[in-house]
Every structure is written in structure tokens, then in C-alpha cells.
Amino acid sequence: MSLKPGVVTPHSWPSGHKAGLACAAIGAVGFLVTVLIHWRSGSGFTDLPDLWTTVPIFAAAAVPAIACVIRREGAYWLPLAGMTLALCSVFLGWAIALLAIALVAVIVAFVLPEVL
């Protein structure tokens, strides 16, 4: 992978966003691995996952995110999604609790007015 700016045509979109796709994939796989390890150990929501697994995942996702910005790939939502998932894996219980609160807020904001 070179650090030259990615030239993107409609047919070469994935090849022009290699670093962003790598960051998103690392973040998603890291989040899934953290969830599986955390719940197999029987830990609760307020317990932090094992930092020996989550911090390297975060660092591994940061490298392609920085490369995406340096290469000016353009689709900055890919490294943003990857870094968000990697950071959520560090604070897993709190991230899931926040997601549940946001889901309830969306239901109250959008579904409840339609019912009433």
C-alpha cells in the first residue's frame, strides 16, 4: 500500500479506499472478538474487557486510519467507523448500554408519536 492519494473511479472504489476498508474491517472483527471473549468469560456490563486484547485492536485499527487520512482517500466514514468500533470494544459494556439508551430514545421519538 503506497501513501499516494487514491484515484477513484466508479469501478475502482474498493481499490481506492484500501486503508479505510482495512480500518473498518479491523474495527468490526475486533469488536466481534471482544464481545465473544468478554461474554464467554461471564463478565458483566460494567466490567472492562481484557485490555491485553482490546488495546492492540485499537492500535491495529489506528494504523490504517492514519494511512487513510495521509493518502486522502476521501471516504472518511470508513476509518471513523473502524475507530469507533475499536474504541467501543475497549469500553464494551458502556457502549452497549449507551446503544440501548439510544435505541429507546429513537423508539420514543419516532414510534410513539405515530401511535398516539
Q: What is the pLDDT of residues 58-108, one digit of tens each?
A: 999 999 999 988 988 888 888 999 998 898 888 887 887 888 899 999 988
- Count of the separate structural domains present in the chain: 1
Q: Looking at the whole model, is its pTM more than 0.75? A: no
**2 in any annotated domain:** no
Q: Report the pLDDT value the prediction gives residue 10, as an integer from 0 to 100.
A: 62
Q: What range defines the domain where residue 81 resides?
A: 12-115
Q: Long-range contacts for 107-110 (Cβ within 8 Å, ≥24 apart)?
A: none
Q: Which of 17, 34, 12, 29 is nearest to 68 (CA)?
A: 17
**24 in any annotated domain:** yes
**6 in any annotated domain:** no
Q: What is the pLDDT of residues 12-33, one digit of tens each?
A: 766 678 888 999 999 999 989 8
**82 in any annotated domain:** yes
Higher-confidence residue of 7 and 85: namely 85
Query: How far, CA to CA in Å, does 21 sit from each of 33, 74, 85?
Result: 18, 12, 13
